[in-house]
Amino acid sequence: DAELSASAPDAVKPADYDLVVLAMQESQYGAHGVRELMQRIAAAYVPCLAIMNMPPLPFLKRIRGLATDKLTACFTDPDVWNGFEPGLMTLASPDPQAVRPVGEGKNVLQVGLATNFKVAPFEREEHTAMLHQLQDDIEAIRFDAGDGAIELPVKLKVHDSLFVPLAKWSMLLTGNYRCIRRDKMISIQEAVHANVDASRAIYNLVATICVKLGAAQADLVPFEKYAQAAQGLRNPSSAARALANGACDIERVDLLVQQIARQLGMPCAPVDEIVPLVDYHLRANRTRGAATPSVAAAVAGRR
């Protein structure tokens, strides 16, 4: 029987596990305690499945011809990924849209778009076999919500192509990052459907970048399918909400795509419009964050 346990980062022994799942946002892996755990995971040579929008640097190193040394500025703390073997790192696109409902506990998530996690293979078949086992086990699960057993609405789908998870890039640049405006944040639905032609153009541009990296058209998702799904995404993206709430770091897939396009010699004007907007909000949040301790000290000094 399976066992479930929870431990603080400093108590975890990575060598005791067959597979590590990295399911946080990229900017969080440099946190104290987590950073040290990441170093131990790398040293233990345990296969890692990253369920992230931002591909870890070791995964990007698996893409031939990509100069990953020129992409480190896209990461909050690129040194976190030192020591990881590229062949032991794979990626799943976190396509399901999940939010924590206001007033609910931290372990309660509401899935608004029940799509599947699409995962790329590891380099070694024995490691990919674990992913297939997970896929089959999840397929077999039945959950009784009170009115009969149902399949889990979100599944893991293992693919043969390294590039399948990169299909998410077009969606992120068309919807998630275009929620971010200078003076407000808008819903993904509005970002995509306010100007469908412009959305289609940026979606297909990013898809072309993926194809130039080595993706096949079959690895990608057609714009029409994404646009239809976006009709139901009536909240700002997590990146937009984080910036609105004062985050000083977020995942920079926008910057990553821009830098990769430049390596490929491709103009990407729509992405060039997004990156400065994200930079603007991050600078503003960091300025406010840096000012807060000084204000607190001044208040304390007047007491």
- Tally the residues of the chain: 303
Q: Is residue 26 part of a domain?
A: yes
How far apart, in Å, are the Cα atoms of 159 and each of 38, 51, 199? Answer: 26, 14, 27
Helix (H, G, I), strand (E, B) or coil at 49: strand
Give per-residue pLDDT as tens, 127-142: 999 999 999 999 999 9
Give dist(CA 133, CA 138) in Å, integer. 9
Residue 89: domain span: 16-160
pLDDT tens per residue across span 166-220: 999 999 999 999 999 999 999 999 999 999 999 999 999 999 999 999 999 999 9
101-117 pLDDT, tens per residue? 778 887 787 766 667 89
Q: What pTM was computed for the model?
A: 0.90
Burial class for 4, CB neighbours closer than 10 Å (0-12, 13-18, 19+): exposed
pLDDT above 70 for 255: yes
Confidence of residue 96 (pLDDT cuts 50, 70, 90): low
Is pLDDT above 90 for 4?
no
Return the pLDDT at 114. Answer: 61
Which domain-ending residue is among 106, 133, 160? Answer: 160
For residues 81-91, one letter each, b for 16 or more C-beta atoms within 10 angstroms of the residue's C-beta and e for the rest, the string is: beebebbbbbb
Q: Is 158:132 a contact under the CB 8 Å cutoff?
A: yes
Nearest to 156 by CA among 215, 90, 86: 90
Same domain, 175 and 152: no
Examine the domain organization and report whether 104 and 219 are in the same domain: no
Tally the domains of the chain: 2
Please check whether residues 117 and 216 belong to one and the same domain: no
pLDDT band at residue 288 using 50, 70 and 90 as cut-offs: very high
| Residue 152 lies inside a defined structural domain of this protein | yes
Q: What's the CATH number where 257 sits?
A: 1.10.1040.10
Give the C-alpha distances (Å, rounded to integers) separating 48 from 32, 87, 267. Answer: 20, 9, 34
**In a shared domain, residues 186 and 288:** yes
Sheet strands side by side (includes 117-119): 20-22, 48-51, 89-93, 117-119, 156-158
Q: How far apart are CA 175 and CA 198, in angstroms?
A: 11
Of the residues 138, 160, 182, the one at which a domain ends: 160
pLDDT tens figures, 33-53 = 999 999 999 999 999 999 999
Among 122, 140, 160, identify where a domain stops. Answer: 160
Identify the CATH number of the domain in which residue 47 sits. Answer: 3.40.50
Q: Do 72 and 252 form a contact (C-beta atoms < 8 A)?
A: no
Q: Are 96 and 192 part of one and the same domain?
A: no
Q: Give yes or no: residues 179 and 252 share one domain.
A: yes
Query: Which residue blocks in 16-159 are alpha helix, DSSP H?
Result: 34-44, 57-60, 125-140
Average pLDDT of the residues of the chain:
92
Angstrom distance (rounded) from CA 27 to CA 248? 10
Are 236 and 300 within one domain? yes
